[in-house]
Structure 1
């Protein structure tokens, strides 16, 4: 376990920045591994709580890094995590943008884009798996997550209704001392 200093947090988030293909969600599984399993800075439940809070806040999903940095080492931890998760990608995007637009439509770029899509999808699925495994509430919580996913994918249900229903289910189960 590495002590949680702003510098050690920066060193964890710098490489995570470069695997955010498809958005910040794609780095969640590796972020969880580094924060929870390798460095033991947060528990799995604390990580999922931070994820839930970060998803409720407006802005990019990568703000999870900022919240985790704050939880681990306060203000400077948040700064280190934010610079770590956004810095390398911002520099890379700036460098690649001019080349990308210059060679737009080239077969090699098209092949690269097509090849990155399934990798990004797989990384997001891995993040979903990690988050579902870390849920409090056992199999009921996991089942609720899967039902919510199916409803969002297959029906026009308003996500706010799912949030209210999920909260209501767990408040009810808690009041009955079933969880």
Structure 2
């Protein structure tokens, strides 16, 4: 059990320091590490935990404590949460102070402009990883694509999409 907790701490500390541009940017690497490298869960289980985390109120990376819980119970939840949220919070405090100190420097605007497409690419990679794990049938792929299109082209509230998905699951659509 100690080795599993150590692995959780190592993985989520590393991911904490890589989560540049928002928490969802590390989803592909998180999925790779917990599914493909550690074999702690299947892609579908990871996708289900991610969906559950997104439906819950709170930070957008509530999937981290859920992964920890799935892997090692309460101890896993605590270790993964501390490893993910403490290092990045400390770095953020330091960077905000430095960023404010250099707010009038021309290089700051250049750095910001360069980080926008990197962040967009990381978020897109996250969407692809979750989409691939979710779309295990033509029906589920159609739902995934339909929700993506609806979210990109309308002002639909995400809870409406979640409720529709839950309703489709209840009636057995896509199984």
* TM-score normalized by the length of structure 2: 0.91
In structure 2, C-alpha distance between the alignment counterparts of 1:144 and 1:169, rounded to whole Å: 9
In structure 2, C-alpha distance between the alignment counterparts of 1:41 and 1:4, rounded to whole Å: 13
In structure 1, C-alpha distance between the alignment counterparts of 2:148 and 2:171, rounded to whole Å: 21
Contact 2:28–2:129 (CA under 8 A) maintained in structure 1: yes
Match of 2:71 in 1: 72
Match of 2:130 in 1: 131
Displacement after TM superposition at 1:90 (Å): 1.2
In structure 1, C-alpha distance between the alignment counterparts of 2:93 and 2:161, rounded to whole Å: 39
In structure 2, C-alpha distance between the alignment counterparts of 1:13 and 1:166, rounded to whole Å: 30
Shift in alpha-carbon separation, 1:69–1:134, aligned structure 2, 3 A: same
Unaligned regions of 5+ residues in structure 1, if any? none
In structure 2, C-alpha distance between the alignment counterparts of 1:143 and 1:4, rounded to whole Å: 41
Shift in alpha-carbon separation, 1:63–1:158, aligned structure 2, 3 A: closer
* TM-score normalized by the length of structure 1: 0.89
In structure 2, C-alpha distance between the alignment counterparts of 1:137 and 1:159, rounded to whole Å: 22
Contact 1:4–1:73 (CA under 8 A) maintained in structure 2: no
In structure 2, C-alpha distance between the alignment counterparts of 1:172 and 1:9, rounded to whole Å: 37
Matches within 5 A, 1:43-58: 43-58=42-57
Matches within 5 A, 1:29-178: 29-135=28-134, 137-174=136-173
1:81 is paired with a residue whose SS is helix
In structure 2, C-alpha distance between the alignment counterparts of 1:37 and 1:146, rounded to whole Å: 25
